[in-house]
Amino acid sequence: MARTNMMNNPKSLSIQVPGALVTRIDRWRGGQLDVPPRSEAIRRLTEMALDHEAAQAAKETEGR
């Protein structure tokens, strides 16, 4: 993940999510060794999802 580059020019983002999603995020962060703040947890989860999506797309392209 290119975390260092992303934080060179950070942008603020305000979102509203259902309480159930906040609970899931908090549960995930509680399972991390460093128990990141909620904003960092959301960044990590977003990066993981996007990396996973890119890997899946690459696999599909290889299979063609």
Q: Please tell me the predicted confidence (pLDDT) of residue 5.
A: 63
Alpha carbons 20 and 23: distance in angstroms, whole number: 5
Q: Please tell me the predicted confidence (pLDDT) of residue 1.
A: 47
- What string of pLDDT tens digits covers the 64 residues of the chain? 455 566 788 899 999 999 999 999 999 999 999 999 999 999 999 999 999 999 988 888 887 6
- Is the backbone of residue 35 left (phi > 0), alpha (psi -120 to 50) or beta? left
Nearest partner of 44 among 14, 6, 18, judged by Cα: 6
Using DSSP's 3-state secondary structure scheme, residue 41 falls into helix
CA dihedral 56, 44, 22, 13 (to 10 degrees): -100
The model scores a pTM over 0.85: no
